Chains A and B, each alone.
Chain A
Amino acid sequence: MSKLDSKIPEGPLEQKWEKYKSSVPLVNPANKRSLEIIVVGSGLAGASAASTLAEMGYKVKVFCFQDSARRAHSIAAQGGINAAKNYQNDGDSTYRLFYDTIKGGDYRAREANVYRLASVSANIIDQCVASGVPLAREYGGMLSNRSFGGTQVQRTFYAAGQTGQQLLLGAYSGLQRQVGLGTVEMCARHEMLDVVVIDGKARGIIARDLISGKLERHFGHAVLLCTGGYGNVFYLSTNAMGSNVTAAWKAHKKGAFFGNPCFTQIHPTCIPVSGDHQSKLTLMSESLRNDGRIWVPKKQGDTRKPNEIPEEERDYYLERRYPAFGNLVPRDVASRAAKERCDAGYGVGASKMAVYLDYKAAIDRYGKTQAKKLGVENPTAAQLREFGKQVVEEKYGNLFEMYEQITGENPYEVPMRIYPAVHYTMGGLWVDYNLMTTVPGMYALGEANFSDHGANRLGASALMQGLADGYFVIPMTIGAYLSKEIGVKPISTDHEAFVNAEKEVQATIDKFLSIKGSKSVDSFHKRLGKIMWDKCGMARNEKGLKEAIAEIRALREEFWRDVRVPGTNNELNPELEKAGRVADFIELGELMCMDALNRSESCGGHFREESQTEEGEALRKDDEFSYVAAWENKGNHTYELHKEELKFEAIKIAARSYK
């Protein structure tokens, strides 16, 4: 326990951040100029942090593996971003957003961090609008909000179905401004392959120029990891193909503890897998659940077409099980319910691993109101349908179009098939209130850290956290560390720590290329994904997890014996890049299973079959597991568990119920 100091400021919850800001040590402008900061990753967290730190006067270097900072996967977020603005006058407040986030996270997040997140949320919207992000507006010119993810207030700001894109491009343009001003050096198509730690402090990184293959050493007084989540450990996920855990994992191996690695969010509305060729899964915005009804046939293995199944033979299982929230239950609940039905043999589609999301009722309902609105008397059935379709198209047209592009089916006529898919990882590097990992000088921001979402993230909160960390938190908290570093002159990259780190990275690359085995990197990744999905996915149990650990160890051994990585090091070599990422995923997968095994309670996205109520609902065990599991890498694939106890002072813990 002693190793984990969360550094939460004293005082009442509402005053912690304000007091912290006014008492945190500052770095004077002249000193900022000589302090160098490395930012790895250029998504919402990375881009906003880099540009803000550069504005403040620090010398910043940004690294991303994509060809441009603008490609980071934050860009793919569809739904929106939460902020406690209370523009809708519906009683929203910082406290409510805080409360919803803690409750949504199933009481496994740190109160102080979440409260700070809620309290800066409003500033994020101001900042984004000021920098030209075209968020949706009402006719009066004011910002528009929608409700999202089972909350009772409308606090989600959005830009059609492309909120992540617009926010990222806003942050990216701020970053490019600094690049143009010469205060940020941008290193695109570079992948961080190790952290350099000198005298216990993070002092730089080893990066590979992905075009030339050259290894580079970069010094920094501090290193910020803004490298996103690790959902791709499951092979199939809604993450981008390149999203990976490598930066975080290398940091972990250099001493940063990994927090709650098993906390994974499975998103309920994704387009199901269509075959073995599948390379990724596409999410469809959760907003579809606002109007769509989810069902499966009442008969097992029913092979009739959906439109041939009469109403009374359909099981609207969410409405049946959760009458209060119905189709709008939180993500983890909806996902598990779909899995339960499919596992029990009620699944639909060719794979039988899908459920229907049906818009017929919505089209009928909207058709009637639209006919009234247009003053059409005695409309025909065809007219009603046409009116209804028009309304649905206006609200969800782009999503329906996307569905049709991918599946070749028309969702206005045939119910959509959906199935849950891995979407977000709440776990990540353990950080204290300052967002610093257990390695001094090394920080983790955004999805890469574990801090704010507990065991389950609410919709529209990921964008909020990424930008909160980057725009408002780190620029303050980094001063606490850097104010003591002003005397440190840039360390030469000829220092033996740099030399050794580079040698190790080089050795690993050489090893990959020399194995010359018989199986491709992807084939290992797919096998890892299957183990993780089957045994550490939506539902987990002791037996399965133990099997998974054994299987992953065997897979690791086979990987290092039999992987085939073509090409050389001195060129653009995507297979080599993938090999490094998959090697790290295999190690992470084992730790995730260990963490899931350790946590023999059900909470949020983590469902242990041994811990459920008689009705099959998740059963949390607060007496035993009200802690953050922070894993220390002891080398040689051994890990030591450290616990940070979670204290709830402002909120009374209660069981989550959506009945």
Chain B
Amino acid sequence: MSHGNMNLTLKVWRQKDAKAKGQLVTYPLTDISPDMSFLEMFDVLNEQLINKGEEPIAFDHDCREGICGMCSMFINGQPHGPKRGVTTCQLHMRSFKNGDTIVVEPWRAAAFPVIKDLTVDRTAFDRIIAKGGFISVNTGNAQDANNIPIPKPDADAAFNAAACIGCGACVATCKNSSAMLFVSAKISQLALLPQGQVERVARAKNMVAQMDAEGFGNCSNTGACEIECPKGISLENIARMNREYYMANIKE
């Protein structure tokens, strides 16, 4: 084993398909470099499984630079693992110690059913966006971009809300599997911009209705989502969504 490398014990959730009953399976791993990303460690494990004639572990991942939002592992009781502000693909093994046992589970929520092993179905998020997470402007209808001056603080606040990558860590970590941080980030982004005003009422109502219909839980303001969000989306957004929704119901 080269200097600084680690031996680890992995306990990984294995589940053949959506209907199968799953279980945690233990895999010992040796000689893991601290410079590897968490997913690269899974690559190593999968390569070993393939060589042994076993089935590799299915997990979602794509960009591996922390922006696409596809990776999704619940690591030792936290979404995207112990490090703050990063996704699993950006978590490096130097965050762990030689001899550690690491438990890896899929996101758990009725609205995010397991597809296989660590892969879950997050299309509920897409359906919520389809109900109002947009501005209804057809291509070709736009006026000159600088005709709508936007105060920098508003533009920055909208950007901060728009930084959401839709990974679902907020749902995964919430004791109630609530999706309010995700939904509020989109509602906030558009509520903060002048372009978003026209559809403000309908947006808040429709997106919240779809969120409820998907079977996410309710928010009890524990604040876990904000802490675990890899992009630092603030709880202020949930408060803003609440206001938007109340006002929408008062108006219509």
Contacts and interface: CB of A to CB of B under 8 A. Distances in A.
A520 B44 CA distance: 12
A141 B62 contact: no
Contacts of B73: none
A169 B90 CA distance: 21
A135 B148 CA distance: 12
20 contacts: A52-B138, A67-B122, A68-B126, A70-B166, A71-B63, A71-B68, A73-B63, A127-B140, A132-B196, A141-B155, A162-B67, A165-B165, A277-B35, A280-B65, A282-B64, A283-B65, A475-B139, A522-B43, A566-B54, A571-B16
A575 interface: yes
Given A52-B138, A179-B130, A472-B139, 20 more contacts: A51-B139, A68-B123, A70-B126, A71-B62, A71-B63, A72-B68, A73-B68, A132-B135, A137-B151, A165-B67, A177-B134, A211-B115, A275-B36, A277-B33, A277-B35, A405-B90, A405-B92, A406-B37, A408-B35, A408-B92
Contact of A141 (B39, B63, B150): B150
Interface string A65-78: 01111111101100
A408 B94 contact: yes
B6 interface: no
A140 to B, nearest CB: 7
Interface string B17-46: 100000000000000011111011101100
A61 B44 CA distance: 37
A624 B136 CA distance: 51
B216 interface: no
A165 B163 contact: yes
Contacts of B123: 67-68, 188
Given A406-B90, A406-B92, A134 B158 contact: yes
B231 to A, nearest CB: 9
B143 A126 contact: yes
A130 B137 contact: yes
A13 interface: no
A520 B54 CA distance: 12
A522 B40 CA distance: 12
Q: Name the prevailing secondary structure of the B interface residues.
A: loop
A28 interface: no
A176 interface: yes
Contacts of B116: 211, 571-572
B183 interface: no
A179 B62 contact: no
Contacts of B196: 132
B64 A240 contact: yes
Given A85-B145, A567-B55, A130 B126 contact: no
A134 B193 contact: yes
A284 B62 CA distance: 18
Given A70-B166, A241-B64, A406-B90, A139 B143 contact: no
Interface string A393-432: 0000000001001111000000000000000000000000
A176 B134 contact: yes
B148 A129 contact: yes
B145 A143 contact: yes
Nearest to B206: A180
A240 B166 contact: no
A174 interface: yes
B58 A574 contact: yes
A159 B159 contact: yes
A141 B151 contact: yes
B61 interface: yes
Nearest to B190: A132
A143 B55 CA distance: 52
A17 to B, nearest CB: 14
B151 A177 contact: no
A277 B64 CA distance: 14
Question: What 4 pairs between A and B have smallest CB-CB spacing?
Answer: A141-B149, A180-B130, A130-B142, A173-B134
A129 B162 CA distance: 13
B221 interface: no
Contact of A68 (B16, B119, B122, B158): B122
Contacts of A227: none
A139 B152 contact: yes
Contact of A571 (B17, B53, B189): B17
B68 A176 contact: no
B151 to A, nearest CB: 6
A122 B70 CA distance: 32
B60 A87 contact: no
A141 B134 contact: no
A211 B119 CA distance: 10
B151 A68 contact: no
A456 interface: no
A131 interface: yes
Contact of B62 (A127, A136, A240): A240
B47 interface: yes
A172 B134 CA distance: 9
Contact of A130 (B63, B150, B195): B195
Interface string B167-209: 0000000000000000000000110010110000000000000
B111 to A, nearest CB: 14
Interface string B59-81: 01111111111100000000000
Contacts of A176: 126, 129-130, 133-134
Interface in A253-311: 274-275, 277-280, 282-283
Contacts of B156: 134, 137
Contacts of B56: 566-567, 574-575
A160 B163 CA distance: 10
Contacts of A48: 139
Contacts of B35: 274-275, 277, 407-408
B215 to A, nearest CB: 18
Interface in A56-103: 66-73, 75-76, 85, 87
Contact of B142 (A75, A123, A405): A123
A628 to B, nearest CB: 29
A125 B193 contact: no
B130 to A, nearest CB: 4
B152 A138 contact: yes
Nearest to B35: A274
Contacts of A85: 145
Most chain B beta carbons < 10 A, residue from A66, A241, A283: A241
Contact of A566 (B55, B70, B131, B152): B55
B126 A278 contact: no
A564 interface: yes
Contacts of B34: 408
Given A73-B63, A129-B145, A522 B47 contact: yes
